[in-house]
Amino acid sequence: MKLIELKGVVKRFGKVIVLDDVNLSIEEGDVIGVIGTSGSGKTTLLNLISGFLHPSSGKVLHSFHVTQGQVSMQKNLHKIKDKIGFAPQHNSFYPKLTVVENMLHFGQLYGLKKETIVNNVDSLLHATKLHHHRNKLAQHLSGGMQKRLDISCSLVHKPKILILDEPTDDLDPILQREIMSFLKEVNKQGVTLVIASHNLDLLEKICNKIAIVHNGKVKDCGLISDFRRPFLKEHFTINLNVSDNKEKILSYINNLHVSKIIDKGHHIVVYPHNAAQTISSLLNIIDEEDLYDIDIRRPSLGDIFERITMEES
Amino acid sequence: MRSLWLLTKKNLKLLIRSKSSGLVIFLAPLLIILILGLSYSSSSNYGLNIGIHADSFTEDVDSLISSLQEQEFRIIKYESDVEECIEDIKQGFIHTCVSVPQDLKVEDNQQKEITFYIDPSEINLVWMIQETLGSKFNLKSQEISKQLTGEIINQLDDTKNKVSEKSSELNQVKEKSSAASSSVTSLKENIENIDLEVPIIVYDAGIVNSFKNKLSSEVEDSINAVSNARNDVENAEIEGGNGAILNSLNDAEKNLNKLLAMVEGNNSGYGEISSLVSSLQHDLIQAQTKLMSASETMSSTSSSLDSTTASIQDSLTAMTVVQQGLEEIKSNLESQKVTEVDTIAAPLVTKIERISPESSFLNYSFPGLLVLVVMFSSLLLGTTLVMMEKNSPAFFRNYFLPLQKGTFIISTYLTNSIITIIQIVIILGVSLLFLKGNPLVMLPVAGMLLISSTVFTLMGMTIGYVFRSEETGTLASISLGSFLLFVSGLILPLESISANIRKITNFNPFVISEKVIREIFIFKAPVQTIWTDILTLLGYALILFVAIIVIDILIHKHFKERFNKHRHKENRHKEKIEKNNA
């Protein structure tokens, strides 16, 4: 069931068109990753989905209330605020309140019964592993804890959809994984997730759908598998770990039929036009050039995104 | 030194680059000085509302009123009762009540008393009223004093003229008296010259002899006649006899014979008479002569005395005229009823009556101080709380809460109110230690303070919503508070500012709050006398509340746009850097 649908949405700030003709559907239970370069309009898209911003033209529809069908979000925002959770890029809670005070404060303002709120808070504290820090002032928490608290505050009223803007930004890889695994748990409990992030690897792990925002347009939106399919044959990447003979290998690869070579120091990523031919050619020089580590990967989300945005550019 | 300059330069840049800070920094002082300049640059007189009470508004009182009106004082007349006038001071409709006698003319030795009723709690106004009105009444007093002195001088002048006029009359009296004196002297001489000595003159005695002869002849004739009569009677037959008649005739004959003998005798009767007549004749001749002489003298003396009498008569007339003149001078002098030096020097005396019991200065200034404290704390608290919320990281999350905008505003207001209530309780509690009075009065004062704080809190909140940074908001709050304070009459009397600005300042919530609290605290005013002011404050609160909602709606819209625009720019910039790095 479509929870939220954007139809021909245009968003302008003054004369600048930030988003143009956006069509996007968010179905119940989805985990949608919104990816795009910086300034591509990801946050604006999230703000439109959350109702924080209203479109300059077009429609944002929701169907949180099944009996009513799809209705305009703008006109019914006050009725569906309890269905939406939003975790902005920067933490949004009161630093001078404790963890539990923050959660109770926001939970109670959603008009839920105290018992329900207390239960929600308890379960969230355990899920986010913040229960040991429940009485600490929020400003005294570490960055990862603060991010978890922020997400908890967005979830305390048990929304149907949780929108997250860069939830792993500025976090170390361990914390990033922790956050993502937590979100996975949240999704399992039936919460639809919309996540904007630059961390495509992590997104790839939890998202079932991707929306690529580029130059103010949502280029594509769909299942990751559907995205990957067109690139599977031609957009394998060959990763080579090289040692001292990197220049020689690079000149060799340059003579092959490849679309792109990325030099990462001791690591070279090759985008072949024809994976089979390129691999065959590389296998020929394994011995003489001492290529000790070759692997072939299907295109990652990053690869796909890069390809799409490059093509567009 | 360099680092100090760099830091200062950075601070200045930051301040100037924040549009609102820049505006507040440069425009606030300009605006304040402009408004204060406009307010206090007026050269016109104090805009005092003066109640004039008199039993009846005579020409004198009206003339006094006109002279006060010339100085732009607004005059309200109270004919019925001075209490009504005093009540209006308490309510702040007028600044002072002046009770004047209906007639300012000083006609007796009593000084005319003018009573000023003043509100001692209007400390700075009291002196101003005393100064301005006192000088005005001093002028009036001088005018009356001048008039009285003029009257005295006129009367002295009149007296001088009359004395000069009557002086000629006195000369006449003098001349006439002198003439009378000389006349009397002459009379005296004349009388002294009268000769009263009797001259010896011999009178003719033949007349007496002739008289004797004639008398003897007559007597003899009479005897003969009687004798004839007796004969007749004897011959006549008379019924009842003639004896009685004959007897009588015999007696008569005898007597006549005796008389004849007396006339004919030398040693008695005639001789003596003859000698006596002779001497009398002699004396009479002498007396006649002397009397003739005296008569002449008297005749001349009479004429002198006539002239003296005329002179004296003239003197009397002149004296009467002089007397009348003196009477006129006396009555003229008596017509000057004001003779007391004090009354002439100061015909009008002013008396000052306080309309509230005498208290300490703290009592009088307490309402102003209370409002001052509440105003600044509420303004700053209102601004700070809104700023805290706006600048809080949680501000963004509040957009997603299913709450009405008004809920946030009211919650901020309630927070302020709770803090203000605590402050009020502390202030009033501590005040009770210094102010002797009924503690129950503090309850309505506290209620009123809460209403005032509502207005100031909402003002502070409005500033908080309008301005972006906490520093700018605080600066704006302090500026607004200072401005309201400057045009409140607490520092400089409102009555000294220009009329137009003064009209506006009557709507200053500080002025209204201070007035109401003063009325409650000092005059124990009942609610029905202050309800219009309370309604005005509540009206302000309502307007400000609506204004905050409107501003909040605009700010939210602006905030969203700004938030995204800023973010969009930031991302574009980031992207550029990344591209350049790549």
Query: How many Å apart are CA B367 and CA B365, to the nearest integer?
Result: 6
CA atoms within 13 A on the CB side of A166: 15
- For the segment B347-370, what is each residue's pLDDT rounded down to a tens digit? 777 777 776 666 555 667 778 888
Query: How many Å apart are CA A241 and CA A6, to the nearest integer?
Result: 45
pLDDT at A192 (0 to 100): 93
Whichever domain contains A262, its CATH number is 3.30.70
pLDDT at B219 (0 to 100): 86
pLDDT at B460 (0 to 100): 93
- Say whether residue B102 is in contact with chain A using an 8 A CB cutoff: no
pLDDT at B459 (0 to 100): 94
Within this chain, do residues A208 and A246 fall inside the same structural domain, yes or no?
no
Q: Which two tokens stand for residue B239?
A: 């019924």
- Say whether residue B566 is in contact with chain A using an 8 A CB cutoff: no
Within this chain, do residues A78 and A124 fall inside the same structural domain, yes or no?
yes
- Say whether residue B402 is in contact with chain A using an 8 A CB cutoff: yes
| Cβ neighbours of A93 in B, within 8 Å | 393-394, 397
Residue B243 pLDDT grade (very low, low, confident, very high; cuts 50, 70, 90): confident
Average pLDDT of the segment spanning B134-154:
78
Is the model's pLDDT at A193 over the cut of 90?
Answer: yes
- Are B394 and A39 inside 8 Å of each other by CB? no
| Cβ neighbours of A82 in B, within 8 Å | 402
Average pLDDT of the segment spanning B23-31:
61
Assess if residue B240 is contained within a domain. Answer: yes
* Angle at alpha carbon of residue A56, lines to A50 and A57, rounded to 5°: 100
pLDDT at B36 (0 to 100): 56
Within this chain, do residues B126 and B57 fall inside the same structural domain, yes or no?
yes
Assess if residue A312 is contained within a domain. Answer: no
Within this chain, do residues B501 and B374 fall inside the same structural domain, yes or no?
yes
Average pLDDT of the segment spanning A155-164:
91
Within this chain, do residues B399 and B522 fall inside the same structural domain, yes or no?
yes
Percent of chain A beyond pLDDT 90? 14
- Are B400 and A86 inside 8 Å of each other by CB? yes
Within this chain, do residues A8 and A46 fall inside the same structural domain, yes or no?
yes
Query: How many Å apart are CA B495 and CA B502, to the nearest integer?
Result: 7
Selection from A264-273, B127-136, B162-171, B393-402 with the highest mean pLDDT = B393-402
Whichever domain contains A29, its CATH number is 3.40.50.300
Is the model's pLDDT at B141 over the cut of 70?
Answer: yes
Assess if residue B278 is contained within a domain. Answer: yes
Assess if residue A310 is contained within a domain. Answer: no
- Say whether residue B399 is in contact with chain A using an 8 A CB cutoff: yes
| Cβ neighbours of A34 in B, within 8 Å | none
Is the model's pLDDT at A90 over the cut of 60?
Answer: yes
- Say whether residue B174 is in contact with chain A using an 8 A CB cutoff: no
CA distance, residue A276 to nearest chain B CA (Å) = 30
Of A212, A229, A246, the domain-final residue:
A229
Is the model's pLDDT at B446 over the cut of 80?
Answer: yes
Residue A121 pLDDT grade (very low, low, confident, very high; cuts 50, 70, 90): very high
- The residue ranking higher by pLDDT, A257 or A45, is A45
Assess if residue B567 is contained within a domain. Answer: yes
Within this chain, do residues B69 and B33 fall inside the same structural domain, yes or no?
no
- Report the predicted TM-score, pTM, of the whole model to 2 decimal places: 0.62
- Say whether residue B574 is in contact with chain A using an 8 A CB cutoff: yes
Average pLDDT in chain B? 77
Q: How many domains does chain A have?
A: 2
Within this chain, do residues A255 and A184 fall inside the same structural domain, yes or no?
no
Assess if residue B188 is contained within a domain. Answer: no
Residue A195 pLDDT grade (very low, low, confident, very high; cuts 50, 70, 90): very high
Assess if residue B192 is contained within a domain. Answer: no
Among A215-229, B5-19, B141-155, B527-541, which is the least confidently predicted range?
B5-19
Nearest CB neighbour to B574, from listed A39, A50, A53 = A39
Within this chain, do residues A14 and A153 fall inside the same structural domain, yes or no?
yes
Average pLDDT of the segment spanning B504-520:
86
- The residue ranking higher by pLDDT, A269 or A186, is A186
pLDDT at B458 (0 to 100): 93
Which of A255, A247, A246, A260 minimizes the C-alpha distance to A293? Answer: A246
Within this chain, do residues B477 and B571 fall inside the same structural domain, yes or no?
yes
Assess if residue A85 is contained within a domain. Answer: yes
Average pLDDT of the segment spanning A74-90:
85
Is the model's pLDDT at A116 over the cut of 60?
Answer: yes
Is the model's pLDDT at B423 over the cut of 60?
Answer: yes
Which of B495, B488, B539 minimizes the C-alpha distance to B517? Answer: B488
pLDDT at B5 (0 to 100): 65
Whether A155 and A191 have beta carbons less than 8 Å apart is answered as yes
Whether B451 and B538 have beta carbons less than 8 Å apart is answered as yes
Which of B561, B397, B399 minimizes the C-alpha distance to A18? Answer: B561
Within this chain, do residues A125 and A266 fall inside the same structural domain, yes or no?
no
Is the model's pLDDT at A128 over the cut of 80?
Answer: yes
Whether A56 and A10 have beta carbons less than 8 Å apart is answered as yes
Q: Which two tokens stand for residue B113?
A: 């008393």
Within this chain, do residues B33 and B125 fall inside the same structural domain, yes or no?
no
Within this chain, do residues A167 and A259 fall inside the same structural domain, yes or no?
no
Within this chain, do residues B350 and B370 fall inside the same structural domain, yes or no?
no
Within this chain, do residues B36 and B154 fall inside the same structural domain, yes or no?
no
- Are A38 and B572 inside 8 Å of each other by CB? yes
- The residue ranking higher by pLDDT, B267 or B209, is B209
Within this chain, do residues A110 and A159 fall inside the same structural domain, yes or no?
yes
pLDDT at B582 (0 to 100): 60
Domain of residue B33, residue span: 18-42+360-581
- Say whether residue B403 is in contact with chain A using an 8 A CB cutoff: yes
- Say whether residue B13 is in contact with chain A using an 8 A CB cutoff: no
- Say whether residue A132 is in contact with chain B using an 8 A CB cutoff: no
Within this chain, do residues A45 and A131 fall inside the same structural domain, yes or no?
yes
CA distance, residue A44 to nearest chain B CA (Å) = 7
Assess if residue B10 is contained within a domain. Answer: no
Is residue B354 classed as helix, strand or coil in its secondary structure? strand
pLDDT at B2 (0 to 100): 58
Is the model's pLDDT at B544 over the cut of 90?
Answer: yes
Q: What is the ipTM of this complex?
A: 0.79
Residue A99 pLDDT grade (very low, low, confident, very high; cuts 50, 70, 90): very high
- Are A38 and B578 inside 8 Å of each other by CB? yes
Of B333, B368, B390, the domain-final residue:
B333
Domain of residue A275, residue span: 233-297
- For the segment A292-307, what is each residue's pLDDT rounded down to a tens digit? 677 777 777 777 777 7
Average pLDDT of the segment spanning B326-338:
77
Assess if residue A151 is contained within a domain. Answer: yes
Beta strands A161-165 and A192-196: pairing type? parallel
Q: How many domains does chain B have?
A: 3
Quickly list H helices, B41-98: 59-70, 82-90
- For the segment B65-106, what is each residue's pLDDT rounded down to a tens digit? 887 777 667 788 888 778 888 888 877 778 888 888 877 777
SS (HEC) of chain A: CEEEEEEEEEEEECCEEEEEEEEEEEECCCEEEEEECCCCCHHHHHHHHHCCCCCCEEEEEECCCHHHCCEEHHHHHHHHHHHEEEECCCCCCCCCCEHHHHHHHHHHHCCCCHHHHHHHHHHHHHHCCCHHHCCCEHHHCCHHHHHHHHHHHHHCCCCCEEEEECCCCCCCHHHHHHHHHHHHHHHHCCCEEEEECCCHHHHHHHCCEEEEEECCEEEEEEEHHHHHHHHCCCCCEEEEECCCCHHHHHHHHHCCCEEEEEECCCEEEEEECCHHHHHHHHHHCHHHHCCCEEEEECCCHHHHHHHHHHHHC
Within this chain, do residues B520 and B453 fall inside the same structural domain, yes or no?
yes
pLDDT at B456 (0 to 100): 93
Within this chain, do residues A116 and A158 fall inside the same structural domain, yes or no?
yes
Assess if residue A311 is contained within a domain. Answer: no
Cα A44 to Cα A191, A209, B507, B561: the distances in Å are 21, 19, 46, 10
pLDDT at B313 (0 to 100): 80
Assess if residue B416 is contained within a domain. Answer: yes
- The residue ranking higher by pLDDT, B543 or B128, is B543
Assess if residue B5 is contained within a domain. Answer: no
Within this chain, do residues A193 and A211 fall inside the same structural domain, yes or no?
yes
Assess if residue A123 is contained within a domain. Answer: yes
Q: Locate the chain A residue with the closest alpha carbon to B569.
A: A39
Is residue A27 classed as helix, strand or coil in its secondary structure? strand
Is the model's pLDDT at B562 over the cut of 80?
Answer: no
Average pLDDT of the segment spanning B220-239:
84
Of A198, A229, A260, the domain-final residue:
A229
Residue B559 pLDDT grade (very low, low, confident, very high; cuts 50, 70, 90): low
- Say whether residue A84 is in contact with chain B using an 8 A CB cutoff: yes
Within this chain, do residues B372 and B229 fall inside the same structural domain, yes or no?
no
Residue B568 pLDDT grade (very low, low, confident, very high; cuts 50, 70, 90): low
Average pLDDT in chain A? 83
Q: Please count the residue pairs, one from chain A and one from chain B, whose beta carbons lie less than 8 angstroms apart.
A: 76
- For the segment B449-507, what is each residue's pLDDT rounded down to a tens digit? 999 999 999 999 999 988 878 888 888 898 889 888 888 877 777 666 676 777 788 88
| Cβ neighbours of A95 in B, within 8 Å | 392-393
The dihedral sign for the CA sequence B13, B18, B19, B24: negative
Assess if residue A280 is contained within a domain. Answer: yes
Within this chain, do residues A217 and A238 fall inside the same structural domain, yes or no?
no
- Say whether residue B5 is in contact with chain A using an 8 A CB cutoff: no
pLDDT at B536 (0 to 100): 92
Nearest CB neighbour to B396, from listed A44, A92, A95 = A92
CA distance, residue B19 to nearest chain A CA (Å) = 20
Within this chain, do residues B409 and B489 fall inside the same structural domain, yes or no?
yes
- Are A88 and B578 inside 8 Å of each other by CB? no
Assess if residue A176 is contained within a domain. Answer: yes
Within this chain, do residues B318 and B391 fall inside the same structural domain, yes or no?
no
| Cβ neighbours of B568 in A, within 8 Å | 13, 16, 18, 39, 41, 44
Among A46-50, B180-184, B198-202, B378-382, which is the least confidently predicted range?
B198-202
Is residue A17 classed as helix, strand or coil in its secondary structure? strand
